[in-house]
Amino acid sequence: MPEKTRATVRGPYRTGIRRREQLVAAAIEVFAEHGYAGGSLRAIAEHAGVSHASLIQHFGSKEGLLTAVLEEWDRRTVQDGLADISGLDYFRRLPEVMAAHQDNRGLLELFTTIAAEASSPLHPAHGFIVRRYATNLATLADHLRQARAAGDIAAMSDAQIDIEVRLVTAALDGIGLQWLLDPSTDVAASVSTYVERAIASWVSGRGDDRR
Amino acid sequence: MPEKTRATVRGPYRTGIRRREQLVAAAIEVFAEHGYAGGSLRAIAEHAGVSHASLIQHFGSKEGLLTAVLEEWDRRTVQDGLADISGLDYFRRLPEVMAAHQDNRGLLELFTTIAAEASSPLHPAHGFIVRRYATNLATLADHLRQARAAGDIAAMSDAQIDIEVRLVTAALDGIGLQWLLDPSTDVAASVSTYVERAIASWVSGRGDDRR
DNA sequence: GTCTATACGCAGATAGAC
DNA sequence: GTCTATCTGCGTATAGAC
pLDDT, tens digit (0-9, with 9 covering 90-100), for B186-200: 999 999 999 999 999
Q: What is the pLDDT of residue A11?
A: 53
| Percentage above 70 pLDDT, chain B | 89
Interatomic distance B198 CA / C11 C1' (Å): 47
Which of A122-126, A139-143, B202-206 is least confident?
A122-126
Average pLDDT, chain B: 88
Return the minimum-mean-pLDDT range out of A195-199, B118-122, B186-190: B118-122
At B49 the pLDDT is 96
Q: Give the number of other CB atoms < 10 A from CB of residue A2.
A: 5
Each residue's pLDDT tens digit, B16-66: 788 999 999 999 999 888 878 889 999 999 999 999 999 999 999 999 999
Does CATH number 3.30.530.20 belong to domain B64-210?
no
pLDDT category of residue B5 using cuts at 50, 70 and 90: very low
Topology at the third CATH level for domain B1-60: Arc Repressor Mutant, subunit A (1.10.10)
A84, pLDDT greater than 50? yes
Residue A79 pLDDT level (bands cut at 50, 70, 90): low
Is the pLDDT confidence value at A10 over 70? Answer: no
- pLDDT (0 to 100) of residue B38: 84
What part of B 122-151 touches A (C-beta under 8 Å)? 122-123, 129-130, 133-134
Average pLDDT score over residue span A52-68? 96
| Distance, CA of A120 to CA of B181 (rounded, Å) | 8
For residue A210, pLDDT beyond 50: no
How much is the average pLDDT of A81-91? Answer: 88
The rounded mean pLDDT for chain A is 88
Q: Is the pLDDT of residue B133 over 80?
A: yes
**Residue B154 pLDDT greater than 60, yes or no:** yes
- Stretch B67-94: mean pLDDT: 86
Contact B200 A206 (CB under 8 A): yes
Q: Tell me where in chain B the CATH 1.10.357.10 domain(s) lie.
A: 64-210
Mark yes or no for CB contact A116/B115 under 8 Å.
yes
Q: What pLDDT score does A77 carry?
A: 74
- Is the C-beta of residue A52 closer than 7 Å to nucleic acid chain C? yes
Could you tell me where in chain A the CATH 1.10.10.60 domains are found? 1-60
Across A7-11, A133-137, B16-20, the highest mean pLDDT is recorded for: A133-137
Range from A14-18, A65-69, A73-77, B203-207 that averages highest in pLDDT: A65-69
Higher pLDDT, A8 or A24: A24
Q: Which residues 174-193 of chain B have a CB under 7 Å from nucleic chain C?
A: none
Distance of alpha carbon A55 from alpha carbon A45, whole angstroms: 7
A174 → closest Cβ in B113, B117, B173: B173
Distance (Å, rounded) from C-alpha B106 to C-alpha B109? Answer: 5
Q: Of chain B residues 29-58, which have a CB less than 8 A from chain A?
A: 34-35, 37-38
Closest nucleotide over all strands to B59 (CA to C1')? D12
> A18-50: buried (b, 16+ CB within 10 Å) or exposed (e) per residue?
eeeeebbebbbbbbbbbbbbbbebebbbebbeb
Does B185 contact A at CB distance below 8 Å?
yes
Contacts of A120 in chain B (CB under 8 A): 34-35, 38, 109, 113
What's the confidence (pLDDT) of residue B186? 97
**Mean pLDDT for the stretch of residues A82-99:** 92
> Mutating which of A109, A112, A173 best tests the B interface, going by the most B Cβ atoms within 10 A?
A173
The residue that leads in pLDDT, B179 or B76, is B179
Lowest mean pLDDT among A1-15, B26-40, B121-135: A1-15
Is-contact A185 B166, C-beta < 8 A?
Answer: yes
A81-101 average pLDDT score: 91
Does position A5 have pLDDT exceeding 80, yes or no?
Answer: no
B112 CB-near residues (< 8 Å, 6+ apart): A116, A119, B173, B176, B177, B180
